[in-house]
A = this chain, B = another copy of it.
Amino acid sequence: MNIGFIGLGNMGVGMARNLLRAGHSLTVYNRTRSRAESLVSEGARVAATPGEAARGEVVITMLADDAALEGVVFGEGGILATLVPGAIHISMSTVSVAIARRLAEAHAAKRQAFVSAPVLGRPEAAAAAKLIILAAGAEQDLARCKPLLDAMGQQTFVVAADAPAANVVKLCCNFLIASIIETLGESFALARKSGVPAQKLLEVLAGTPMTAPLVKTYGTIIAEENYSPAGFALRLGLKDVRLMLAASESAEAPLPIASLLRDHFLTALARGYGDLDWAAIAKVAAENAGLTPRS
């Protein structure tokens, strides 16, 4: 298929590469052009503007936040102005429910198709085509996207026909992870102050049938106080909590756990932990218990 790909960050570069490997014809755009050029040797063409990458059957966006997405879609020479009727925009970034709603409406008005397909997984999963994809959109559009999604992920959940629903579900996933991290952080602080070895608590929490790989992943990071390099940076974690809170306001559904997370993320930022892994909110829990880092 003739595809455009916009946004070649840590996630996007792996995803684009997997599309090339699957034999698709790819035009890529990135604000910092050098990152786009790195894919030329693998067969990609480089576009000078977002619109130039939106001349095929499908354009995929994988960007940092609402503002970046808004720019490439609504800006001059952007996707909205270029994409032909019937072609599809697949938005795979973690962005707000509100912008997904706005995109769905804007594309519909121009008879362009829109699929919202945010992903679960870290950069290694993107590189290995192991992402979990949460897709929402019209049935026939999802069917057309399927080979592309299959080339980038290990599993696609079809969430709903209403595109923004995928964004709600994506935010709920990250909310669950963040809440588990916070709970682990508080638990490890209590354990340390009660004289229980962190490794022992980890062994139990990560070793029982009730737990999940993510309890093991984050429990290990916290027990070992090993927050750098970041798998997912703390300041991005705060962004997701903010999106969750924005969704909460629109829906008039309070989220006290998210509020609490927000405040702990802010403390973490204020203390200079913004570039550590987001599991470093456990440092806040530890410091609130009067603990100092093990060196």
Residues of A within 8 A of B (CB): 97, 120, 132, 134, 155, 157, 159-160, 162, 164-165, 168-169, 172-173, 175-177, 179-180, 182-184, 186-187, 189-191, 193-197, 200-201, 203-205, 207-215, 242, 244, 247-260, 262-264, 266-267, 269-272, 284, 288-291
Assuming the A-B contacts A162-B195, A257-B182, are A190 and B267 also in contact, with contact meaning beta carbons closer than 8 angstroms in the complex? no
- Contact check: which of B162, B250, B289 meets A254 at CB < 8 Å? B289
In contact, A168 and B196 (Cβ under 8 angstroms): yes
Assuming the A-B contacts A191-B169, A266-B252, are A214 and B204 also in contact, with contact meaning beta carbons closer than 8 angstroms in the complex? no
- 3 cross-chain pairs, A with B, having the tightest CB-CB distances, nearest first: A270-B290, A212-B212, A259-B259
Assuming the A-B contacts A162-B195, A196-B159, A208-B173, are A263 and B252 also in contact, with contact meaning beta carbons closer than 8 angstroms in the complex? no
In contact, A172 and B190 (Cβ under 8 angstroms): yes
Residues of B near A200 (CB, < 8 A) are 157, 159-160, 165, 169
In contact, B180 and A251 (Cβ under 8 angstroms): no
Main secondary structure of the interface of A (DSSP, over half): helix
Residues of B near A270 (CB, < 8 A) are 193, 252-254, 288-291
Assuming the A-B contacts A165-B200, A267-B290, A288-B267, are A208 and B132 also in contact, with contact meaning beta carbons closer than 8 angstroms in the complex? yes
Residue of B nearest to A244 (CB): B190
Q: Whole-angstrom distance between the alpha carbons of A288 and B258 in the complex?
A: 14
25 A-B pairs whose Cβ atoms sit less than 8 Å apart in the complex: A132-B208, A157-B207, A159-B196, A164-B194, A165-B194, A165-B195, A169-B201, A172-B187, A172-B190, A172-B201, A172-B204, A179-B182, A186-B254, A186-B258, A193-B253, A194-B250, A209-B213, A210-B214, A212-B214, A249-B266, A252-B290, A254-B264, A254-B270, A256-B259, A271-B290
Residues of B near A177 (CB, < 8 A) are 210
Residue of B nearest to A172 (CB): B187
Residues of B near A189 (CB, < 8 A) are 253
Residues of B near A187 (CB, < 8 A) are 172, 175-176
Task: Beyond A160-B196, A269-B290, list 6 extra A-B contacts (CB 8 Å).
Answer: A132-B209, A179-B257, A254-B262, A256-B263, A259-B262, A260-B260
In contact, A134 and B204 (Cβ under 8 angstroms): yes
Residue of B nearest to A269 (CB): B252
In contact, B165 and A196 (Cβ under 8 angstroms): yes
Residue of B nearest to A183 (CB): B179
Assuming the A-B contacts A173-B208, A200-B165, A205-B172, are A257 and B193 also in contact, with contact meaning beta carbons closer than 8 angstroms in the complex? no
